[in-house]
Amino acid sequence: MFGRLRSLDQKVLDNISRIHSPKMNMVMKTASRSANVGLIWWLVCLPFLINPNWRSIGFNYVIALSFAHVMGEGLIKHTVKRIRPCHGLDDDEQIINRPRFYSFPSGHTTASFAMVGVSIYRGLPPFVVLPILAIALLISFSRIYLRVHYLTDVIAGMFLGLICSGVSVLFFHAIGLA
């Protein structure tokens, strides 16, 4: 089974590398960088934290992002220790600097889908959910495009983000803030 997953991961990377172009490289680098240290998601949290009517949702985002970071970056990544696909590339093939830490799961994707999950689980309207989902999908795809993650890293990050956001929303319900 793991052999099939590795084969699928490599096929996806190979197929995506066929669509590389200077313009696409810039779009993907920008999308990926926007999520470095969760920057775009912390910026999305700000209006929710500032507005008293949305503050509970803002704090829910913060808790989900924090939990996702601890689980993905702190625990799972350093337990699994999967080497990134970019470590097998020549320097001239690399589009961005090689990240220092491990590959599984994708932290950018985990944070992105923690935001998506809170938005959906808290029943936010489509005009809030859809842009967050679109940005999350773009960021997630960019990580594969830039060859710093495998498809399975990104899928695991999606699930982990949704799980962390679900736990966070349940916590907010339990303490009466949701």
pLDDT over 70 at 21, yes or no:
yes
Mean of per-residue pLDDT scores for the chain: 91
* CB 157 within 8 Å of CB 72: yes
Task: Supply the angle between the helices 126-145 and 107-121 in degrees, to the nearest 10.
Answer: 170
First-last CA distance in the chain: 41
At 91 the pLDDT is 59
* CB 63 within 8 Å of CB 83: no
pLDDT over 90 at 59, yes or no:
yes
At 177 the pLDDT is 79
* CB 24 within 8 Å of CB 145: yes
pLDDT over 70 at 43, yes or no:
yes
All domains of the chain, ordered by start, with CATH? Answer: 22-174 (1.10.606.20)
* pLDDT tens, residue by residue, 128-176: 999 999 999 999 999 999 989 999 999 999 999 999 999 999 999 999 8
- pTM score: 0.92
